[in-house]
Structures are given as structure tokens and as C-alpha cells.
Amino acid sequence: MISGKTNVLAIIGNPVEHSLSPCMQNAALKELGLDYVYLAFPVREESLAEALTGFTALGIKGANVTIPHKINALNYMDELHESAEKVGAVNTIKNDSGELIGFNTDGEGMLRSLRNEVSEIESKSVLLLGAGGAARAIGFSIVEAGASLTISNRTASKAKKLAETISGQTKGDVRQVELSKKVLIDEIKNSDILINATSVGMEPNTDETLVSADMMHSDLIVNDIVYKPLKTKLLEEAEKAGAKTIDGLGMLVHQGATSLEIWTGEKAPIKVMRKATENAIKEE
Ligand code: NAP
């Protein structure tokens, strides 16, 4: 029951109409019996400052931040958690008695999702495809977990810059390689985990993949962070090669779970969140 005492959480972005987060978070809040509601607010790029001022005025308890505000939101936080500072983007805001604290839960979400499926991450070699916003958060978390990281991106200069930034800040083991079939074949032979953090394979281009079955081996773990469709062409190819697969909902659910825990202090009900998200995708 929504009452005069109900707390409000939000997602701000543009567009946000198709976000899976309201479904996922409201299912979790219901399961936990918390008097909260989570709503989506479309906020235009030029209206971010106004929206965040309104946010404190209205006492909104917290929010997720999505495209196009993730980087710009940094400028409006009273405090930045180190997760947002190192990634250079905010995806979660906590309103702490009028002070806005910015976090980034993408890296932690990826790590929690991987840890569910993979043991001893610290001993693994990870090949990360992509050098955009998601890859940046994932790259930091992989290296901080103690794994070795190789980054490959269509625009090689971005991969090089990201590899230098991560290794500079973490002193971890980070390399960059060219994104070509020949190079990827060799790299994959020596990798335990392949993560696709590019948008390749995302709707409507569902027949695209950067890696095919003949380039993979059966000991490989393949994690595609694209979740529309849930079974991407890359994951189909990985199954053909006998590799273990992890879909994009793993990271999505766990980054949302980490946000929920920041806002409420309660342990997030992962299974309920996953189910609600799967149902929302099916109904689309
Ligand atoms: P982004 O910052 O725009 O980065 C896009 C990345 O994809 C860049 O590395 C880009 O390479 C690469 N790319 C795009 N088209 C390509 C192509 N045709 N061939 C090779 N590389 C290509 O986007 P993002 O925020 O990182 O998101 C990337 C994907 O992850 C999206 O599909 C998004 O929906 C998904 N995502 C999922 C989660 C989750 O929780 N599961 C979270 C965040 C994002 P260049 O640098 O060369 O342009």
C-alpha cells in the first residue's frame, strides 16, 4: 500500500520508459516488505541540475542514473564514493539527509555475478571486449579482484588509454590487444573468461558477434553483458563450442542489488529480482 509515509526511489535518464529497473526494484522492495516505491523519471540532458535539486527538495531517497547522465551527474554530487570516482561515472545516488552521494555499482555487479558462477577469479585471465562506460567499470573490478586483464576494442586508442588508466590506478596486470580475428583467436586460447562489453549483438543487430564458436574452447566462460536479447549470438556460439555461458541479466541484477543495498541497508533478494526482470523481458 502506498501511503503518506512511502519512500520514493527513482531512475533518471532519457529514455527510461523501457528500463527494466522499476520492475526489478519494486519486486525486491515488495519481497523485503519495505515501504518504498521505485519510479522512472525521464530527464532531458539539460534538466539534470534541476532534477537533482528537486530530488533533495522532495526527499527522494535514492536513484539510479542512466544514459545520458552518468558522467554529468558527477558534477552535482556532494560526495563521491570511490566506485564512482575511479570509473568517472555515477549510476547510483543515495540521498543522505540532503547530501547526495554518488556511487557506481556496475563493476561490483559484474563481480558478484561472476563470483556466482566462477571460483577463484583472482587466478583467471580475462579478455574484455570494449572500452566504453561499462567496460571501464568492469575492467577496474576485474583487476581489483586480482585477475589479469586484456582489453580489446574496435577503436584501439580507447583500449590503450583504458588499459593505462586501470594499470596506473591499480598497479594491476592489464594489457591491450588489437580487435582482429587473428589476434582474438590467439588471446582466447590463453583466456579463462571472455566478457563482451560492447553493444555488438544488441537488438536490432541480433545476428552480430565479434567471436564465433570456432574461436572458442570448451573451458572458456563467456559472459555477454548485452541482455536484449537474453541469448545473444555470442552466447549461442559459446554454447556450440561447449563453453559455459553467463547472460547480461547477471550483471544487471547484481548492480541493481548493490544499489538497493546502498539505499536500504537490506540484503537484496537476487532470485526475485532476476525472475521479475526475466518476466519483464518476456512481456515486451
Ligand atoms: P558505450 O560506452 O557506448 O560503449 C560501446 C562499446 O561498444 C565501445 O567499446 C564501442 O567501440 C563498442 N562497439 C559498438 N559497436 C561496435 C561494433 N560494431 N564493433 C565493435 N565494437 C563496437 O556503451 P556502454 O554503456 O559501455 O554499453 C555497452 C553495452 O553493454 C550496451 O549494449 C549496454 O546495453 C550493455 N550494458 C549492460 C549492462 C548490464 O548490466 N548487463 C550494464 C551496462 C551496459 P568503439 O570504442 O570503437 O566505439
- pLDDT tens column, 97-132: 999 999 999 999 999 999 999 999 999 999 999 999
Report the nearest-CA residue for atom 2 of ligand 1.
132
CA angle at 130 for the pair 129 and 135, rounded to the nearest 5°: 105
DSSP 267: P
Which domains, ranges and CATH numbers included, belong to the chain?
7-104+251-283 (3.40.50.10860), 107-247 (3.40.50.720)
Contacts of 237 (CB under 8 A, 6+ apart): 209, 211, 212, 213, 216
CB 70 within 8 A of CB 103: no
User: Does 228 qualify as catalytic in the annotation?
Assistant: no
User: Phi and psi for 14 in degrees, rounded to 5?
Assistant: -160, 110
Answer whether 131 contacts ligand 1 (Cβ < 6 A).
yes
CB 274 within 8 A of CB 247: no
| Mean pLDDT value of segment 56-62 | 96
CA angle at 253 for the pair 106 and 97, rounded to the nearest 5°: 65
Report the nearest-CA residue for atom 29 of ligand 1.
199
Predicted local distance difference test score (pLDDT) of residue 284: 81
Confidence band for 134, pLDDT divided at 50, 70 and 90: very high
Residue 110 alpha carbon, nearest atom of ligand 1: 40
Rounded to two decimals, what is the model's pTM? Answer: 0.95
Q: Reply yes or no on whether the pLDDT at 199 is more than 90.
A: yes
CB-CB neighbours of 282 under 10 Å:
8
CB 57 within 8 A of CB 71: no
Predicted local distance difference test score (pLDDT) of residue 1: 86
Answer whether 226 contacts ligand 1 (Cβ < 6 A).
yes
